[in-house]
Chains A and B, each alone.
Chain A
Amino acid sequence: MSLLRMFLVQTKMHFLWYFRRDGEMMFWTLAMPVFFLVLFSFAFSDGGQSRSSAFLVPGIIGAQVLSSGFWGVGVMLATFREKHLLRRVYITPMPPWIFFGSLVVYRMALLAAQAVILVAAGALLFHVRITGNPLEILAILLLGTATFVSLGTIIGALARTTESANNVASILTVPLAFLSDAYVPIDRFPHAVSSTLRLLPSTQFIDTFRDVAIGGASLAHYGAWIGLLALWAVAGTVISARTFRWV
């Protein structure tokens, strides 16, 4: 009971303090993905606008999952440490998993809002239809979130300062968004390049998600990639748990 209350109050405060009262954050979270969708839909519309939009809607959602993990959790934790917030909560009876878990749940709520907005914008502006099985879509999104939150937490664990966490997250997020089939189809690259890029967990996650969401594919056909994503998630969790410093 008191743990549940702790969790709910902490989640509410994350939302109020870092989202609701931060106009810049609200803009980046809610409006920017739609701008990207519109911009890239026109920029890459050689195969027909609705086809490129259908590629982009799941691609941008997938890129947001990545940046939620790297920025929303990883950099955020480094910031909390640098501002001495972590040491203050460390000396209270709150179990560490409550603080971490509520941060993840808060980011997942934002992701859900982003996904709804992007799907609605895709449907209204470009007639993109999400045809996949909702449970399978939810399952792959949850797995991807687990993978990239756990990898992002490694950044939060190892970075000594907010600045270095920021740098690492930028170096990862920006290129990955372009190399993981999120904004640009990697089929356009030479075969050797695209098949190498398919070894990235980010590519595997985004491709699986896209194929399930709009390609009518079943998750059952992606067993190997799902297994690999789960392995990344486990490895990331183990490394984070071993290296994370509260103080």
Chain B
Amino acid sequence: MDQAIVVEQLVKRYGDFAAVDGITFAVPRGTIFGLLGRNGAGKTTTLECCIGLGKPTSGSVRVLGLDPTRPRDLARLRPRIGVQLQATSLPEKANVREVLELYAAYYGIAPRAAEMAERVGLDDKLDRQIAQMSGGEQQRLALALALQHDPDVLFLDEPTAGMDAFGRRILWSEVERLRDAGKTIVLTTHYIEEAERLSDRICVIQRGAIVAEAAPAELVARYGGDATVTIAADGFAPGDALAGLGTWTKAGAQWKLATRGEPGLALAAVVTEANALGAKITSLDMHRPTLEDAFIAITGETIGEAE
């Protein structure tokens, strides 16, 4: 069995509202799968159905071949998964060392408090109480709790939400290290950069449904649109030499080239032509399509911070 997770036609309704409305995907072992979407798109609900925190209204979920809705399967699954939840809190008066000790006891392993604290950059805060820690530090501790028992599959729900740059770097390098160790990771995020950097495959979710799924570069190539070169220069007009590069349009004083080819080469050709014409360049810009362009093309909206 080479699929760590198989989700088929998953539906989760709350009353009349379908938080998840027929989602199907599979995650091969040893890969990172990113669920990308706005807040409220259904990412967390999907993840909760994979770990036994939510019961699907219909459809099926298998994690490591086990069905999280069956108590016996869930009991066998729990020791093999690690979870960093978005909506979780730790006891205010607990300290880092104690929480790691308690979770080690839950999993029947020897506590690795010092080692885990170091891995998430909390080695100088072992005796710090939760109430005295920043949100980002608590998130890093939550990551350590998800990792301490060395699970085969990790579920990270918005793992860097509220983290500073330092925490984000730690989390990203930890995730990359886990991928190298052959772990399977499901990650939900509304940060495009994070999804692009970490995911082997990205699944774009909108209003409870999958609207696109592919490797990040593939999403950009398929949906990101053309690269563009924009130039404003007195006396410039694209002649025959430039016509073959792509489609030219004029808006005000600006000429814009949309190209499927390598935009760097197109830019060089455009500048050469402008110089040959003796045209004085007042502005020049090149844009390569990004995952964000692809996201906007796919969903018709920006991912934004706005709820």
B105: chain A residues within 8 A (beta carbon): 2, 5-6, 9-10
Given A93-B75, A93-B79: A17 touches B91 (CB 8 Å cut-off):
yes
A91: chain B residues within 8 A (beta carbon): 51-53, 78, 81, 83, 85
Q: Is B89 an interface residue (CB 8 A)?
A: yes
Q: Is B107 an interface residue (CB 8 A)?
A: yes
Nearest B residue to A83 via CB reads B89
Tell me the complex Cα distance, A94–B79, Å: 9
Interface centre among B92, B93, B94 (most CB of A within 10 A): B93
Say how far B37's CB is from chain A's closest CB, in angstroms.
22
Given A9-B101, A84-B87, A247-B53: A89 touches B93 (CB 8 Å cut-off):
no
Q: Is B108 an interface residue (CB 8 A)?
A: yes
How many A-B residue pairs lie within 8 Å, measured between CB atoms? 69
Say how far A224's CB is from chain B's closest CB, in angstroms.
39
Nearest A residue to B108 via CB reads A2
Question: Are B108 and A84 in contact (CB-based, < 8 A)?
Answer: no
Question: Are B78 and A93 in contact (CB-based, < 8 A)?
Answer: yes
Partner of A21, one of B52, B93, B108: B93
Say how far A37's CB is from chain B's closest CB, in angstroms.
29
Q: Is B98 an interface residue (CB 8 A)?
A: yes
Q: How many residues on chain B are close to A (CB under 8 Å)?
A: 27
Say how far B132's CB is from chain A's closest CB, in angstroms.
12
Q: Is B282 an interface residue (CB 8 A)?
A: no
A13: chain B residues within 8 A (beta carbon): 91, 94, 98, 102
Q: Is B283 an interface residue (CB 8 A)?
A: no
Nearest A residue to B55 via CB reads A247
Question: Are A93 and B93 in contact (CB-based, < 8 A)?
Answer: no
Say how far B12's CB is from chain A's closest CB, in angstroms.
13
A85: chain B residues within 8 A (beta carbon): 88-91
Q: Is A160 an interface residue (CB 8 A)?
A: no
Question: Are B93 and A18 in contact (CB-based, < 8 A)?
Answer: yes
- Taken residue by residue from 2 to 16, chain A's Cβ proximity to chain B (1 for < 8 Å, 0 otherwise) reads as 100110011001001
A68-116 residues with Cβ-Cβ distance < 8 A to B are 83-85, 87-94
Question: Are A22 and B101 in contact (CB-based, < 8 A)?
Answer: no
Partner of B53, one of A16, A22, A87: A87
- Taken residue by residue from 47 to 62, chain B's Cβ proximity to chain A (1 for < 8 Å, 0 otherwise) reads as 0000111100000000
B129: chain A residues within 8 A (beta carbon): 21
Q: Is B166 an interface residue (CB 8 A)?
A: no
B89: chain A residues within 8 A (beta carbon): 83-85, 88
Question: Are B88 and A93 in contact (CB-based, < 8 A)?
Answer: no
B68-100 residues with Cβ-Cβ distance < 8 A to A are 75, 78-79, 81, 83, 85, 87-94, 98
Say how far A184's CB is from chain B's closest CB, in angstroms.
36
Tell me the complex Cα distance, A243–B91, Å: 25
B93: chain A residues within 8 A (beta carbon): 16-18, 21-22
Q: Is B248 an interface residue (CB 8 A)?
A: no
Q: Is B106 an interface residue (CB 8 A)?
A: yes
Tell me the complex Cα distance, A111–B254, Å: 81
Tell me the complex Cα distance, A17–B93, Å: 5
Interface centre among A2, A6, A89, A92 (most CB of B within 10 A): A92
Q: Is B103 an interface residue (CB 8 A)?
A: yes
Tell me the complex Cα distance, A247–B98, Å: 24
Say how far A27's CB is from chain B's closest CB, in angstroms.
16
B87: chain A residues within 8 A (beta carbon): 84, 87
Nearest A residue to B91 via CB reads A17
Say how far A13's CB is from chain B's closest CB, in angstroms.
5
Partner of B85, one of A2, A18, A84: A84
Question: Are A87 and B85 in contact (CB-based, < 8 A)?
Answer: yes
Tell me the complex Cα distance, A21–B94, Å: 9
Say how far B91's CB is from chain A's closest CB, in angstroms.
5
A5: chain B residues within 8 A (beta carbon): 105, 108
Tell me the complex Cα distance, A92–B93, Å: 21
A1-56 residues with Cβ-Cβ distance < 8 A to B are 2, 5-6, 9-10, 13, 16-18, 21-22
B51: chain A residues within 8 A (beta carbon): 91
A21: chain B residues within 8 A (beta carbon): 93, 129
Given A13-B98, A16-B98, A84-B85: A92 touches B106 (CB 8 Å cut-off):
yes
Nearest A residue to B94 via CB reads A17
Given contacts A85-B90, A87-B53, A93-B78, 6 further A-B contacts (CB under 8 A): A83-B89, A85-B88, A87-B85, A92-B107, A93-B108, A247-B54
15 pairs from A and B in contact (CB 8 Å cutoff): A5-B108, A9-B105, A10-B102, A16-B93, A16-B94, A17-B91, A18-B93, A84-B85, A85-B89, A85-B90, A85-B91, A91-B52, A92-B78, A92-B103, A94-B106
